[in-house]
Structure 1
């Protein structure tokens, strides 16, 4: 009797474990996007070149992330987008995105 119950419950426990692992991977990628966007906005507000900002963001962001840097109206906006596959080889992609905004430092062109 106990063996039959274990055989029924074990697959459910594995699915719950897979869901928890996937959630942790997605949340981790979202946090990396937030950190990358924030670092990029700080660098762009200091007056760093857009290519330098993208290189900085690429070091912090998840692999394959796309970065947009927009400067204007006395501020800068950096958006980082990435597609995360939380279950590895399973074809399930989750899009995560973060945007950070900062005012340009005094003396920076465009501010």
Structure 2
């Protein structure tokens, strides 16, 4: 009797485990986007050029992330977006992204 119950429950447990692993991967990618956007906004607010900001963001962001830097109105806005495939070979893509805004430092031209 126990064997039949285990045979029924085991696939459900594997699906729950896969869902938990996928959630952890997506949340991790989201946090990397947040960190990358903040890092880029701080660098741009200090007056770093766009290429340097892009390079700094690329080091922190998930692989294949797209970055947009906009400066204007005394502030800088950095947006990082990425598509994450949390289950590897399963073609399920989840979009994650973050935007950070920072005021330009005194003496930095917009």
TM-score by length of 1: 0.98
Aligned length: 110
- Counterpart CA distance in 2 for 1:63 and 1:40 is 16
TM-score by length of 2: 0.99
Secondary structure of 2:56's counterpart equals helix
1:32 corresponds in structure 2 to 32
- Counterpart CA distance in 1 for 2:93 and 2:13 is 23
Secondary structure of 1:90's counterpart equals coil
1:99 corresponds in structure 2 to 99
What is the aligned-residue RMSD (CA, Å)?
Answer: 0.3
- Counterpart CA distance in 2 for 1:37 and 1:89 is 28
1:51 corresponds in structure 2 to 51
Please list every run of 5 or more consecutive structure 1 residues that lacks an aligned counterpart in the other structure. none
- Counterpart CA distance in 2 for 1:34 and 1:4 is 46
- Counterpart CA distance in 2 for 1:56 and 1:88 is 26
- Counterpart CA distance in 2 for 1:93 and 1:109 is 39
1:73 corresponds in structure 2 to 73
